[in-house]
Amino acid sequence: MRITVEENVRCAVQDLNTRAKRTVVFVHGWPLGKDIFECQYTVLPEYGIRCVSIDLRGFGASDRPLRGYSYDRMADDLCHCLQELGLRDVTLCGFSMGGAICVRYMSRYKGARVRRLVLMGAACPSFVQRPGYPYGMSREQVDLLISQIYNDRPKAVSEFGKQCFAGTPSTQYLNWFQGICTDAAAWSTIKTAESLRDEDLRADLAKIKVPTAILHGMQDRVCPFQFAQEMNKGIPSSFIVPFEQSGHCLFYEERNKCNSTLIDFSK
């Protein structure tokens, strides 16, 4: 289905197992799409969980406007989707940039409709280094990535994809993963990279008032494990679930552990 989130902008939504009593809402990362969570979609419904997933604007099957890629605007899009579907008491699960957008949603909308929060390899509280925050990429490194996207986007996102895993996925899986990356619009890939560089969520963390599980790969090269520790410090009622064998894509590399955590936490 497609939900109107702004005039002339619709987001694609997948809604599985609609009669289930529990709901997990998935928000993907950069520069991916909702299909990335297929290891969760094939398991969680068997445990009585409704799986709702959203293609952010500019990605997957959603509309691709030239503007609207701030965290505030994308949190607004998420709000429209939750309202349109009439969802309440959900477990909101954001991966990478999607985790950052979920944090902004929780702050901006006071956690409306959300009972529990899962931050999975989240690009939070800041994707780049800042005064008092020495973790992650430098602004210059993100600027270089943006320049590479302008010049050769398929190569840039392909190289990014290789950094997302601690192990070595099959060639077929990696090709599929990178295909999702290149399926996004070039301008949305660039604009959201700029948001990753410019947005700072440190002040948002304390506004999260629901139980929060922080799932993070200890070998994550995209969002280092220190991100999880900083989120844990800033979010009341939060706890870390470390994934020792995973890089960024813990939902794939340790999918059984990820799924069991989601099943148990969403009860």
Catalytic residue among 28, 80, 216, 248: 248
Q: What is the pLDDT of residue 184?
A: 96
pTM above 0.85, yes or no: yes
Residues of the chain with pLDDT under 70: none
Catalytic residue among 76, 77, 220, 266: 220
| CATH number reported for the structural domain that contains residue 261 in this entry | 3.40.50.1820
The whole domain housing 67 covers 2-265
Q: What is the pLDDT of residue 222?
A: 97
The reply to whether 63 belongs to the active site is: no
Radius of gyration of the chain measured on its C-alpha atoms: 17
The reply to whether 183 belongs to the active site is: no
Indicate if the alpha-carbon torsion angle 97, 148, 199, 68 is positive or negative.
negative
Here the tokens at position 209 are 């008032």
Q: What is the pLDDT of residue 102?
A: 98
Rounded CA separation 156/154 (Å): 6
Cis amide prior to 224 (ω within 30 degrees):
no
Catalytic residue among 96, 126, 188, 246: 96
Q: What is the pLDDT of residue 223?
A: 98
Rounded CA separation 99/160 (Å): 18
The reply to whether 220 belongs to the active site is: yes
Q: Are 113 and 105 in contact (CB under 8 A)?
A: no
Q: What is the pLDDT of residue 131?
A: 95
> Domain count of the chain?
1
